[in-house]
Amino acid sequence: MKLADLLQQTVARFGSLFLDFPREMSGLINDLAVENISYDELLDEVRRSRLIPEPVTSFEYAAKPVLSALTKIRSINPGLEIVCYGSSENEFASMNNAVELARLTLRTSMTGRVDVKDWRRTLDLSLDLDCKAFEEEASILLDNICENSICVSDMGGRGLKKPLTIAGYDVRIRYVEVPYHFTPLMILLRVMSRRAVSEEEIEEQVRNHVDYVRSYIYRYENRDRAYYEWAYENVPWIRSRISKEEIERLDSIIPYT
């Protein structure tokens, strides 16, 4: 929602907008932007063509505010080129990996034991998938980028900066959601991407991750409130920058899960 607002405020000065949706959706996205199709028709086609893993509601959670704002964004900048630079294949591979991580989380929660070998293998696969995706996405960006472009990405977007900078582009990163602190599994993945980690490190962060899922994700209606409840109770520097009232309001601001 913050991203959709930011795009409407800034898009007038850009020549192209890159969205981190599968590139197979580019035609549908542009049809939506000029109102040739409705939002529901786009979702129907996404389901029919299997461009996004089911349930599509998971995709909608983050995508809907931006997709719903595209008509306004295009009206602000009629000449804007909208390009999707992701991959449907990578989306399905990531979903399969996420399912395996969920299975490991459930098993660890039920048994109280951390199978470090299985966790390491699955997390290594996650890093390999991210690396492959970055290479493909950077190639698409370099093939389509113009002098003044804005590129939407998740927290892994920093991986795109290096190849674009090497190609001679001035890349500036702006974080939409602040304050933010990485969750236990994200911390572990970041450390594993930089150096070898011990079995003890993996076990510690996996147990932190299981507690996060069990105590917060299962407890609250939407993932944003779950995250900020966790951050408020476990990350002191965030506690001083947000209030309990703000966190509780997330249930009414974000009604869908």
Looking at residues 7-36, what average pLDDT do you find?
94
Check whether 257 has a pLDDT greater than 90: no
**Band of residue 254 on the pLDDT scale cut at 50, 70, 90:** low
Domain ranges of the chain: 1-86+147-179
Query: What pLDDT is attached to residue 215?
Result: 95
Check whether 247 has a pLDDT greater than 60: yes
Of these ranges, 50-54, 134-138, 191-195, the one predicted with the greatest mean pLDDT is 191-195
Kindly report the pTM of this predicted structure: 0.87
Query: What pLDDT is attached to residue 255?
Result: 55
30-86 pLDDT, tens per residue?
A: 999 999 999 999 999 999 999 999 888 888 888 999 999 999 999 999 999 999 999
Cis amide linkage into residue 179, ω under 30° from 0? yes
Check whether 218 has a pLDDT greater than 50: yes
Alpha helices in the chain (DSSP H): 2-10, 26-33, 39-48, 56-76, 88-111, 116-144, 158-166, 184-192, 199-212, 223-234, 236-239, 244-253
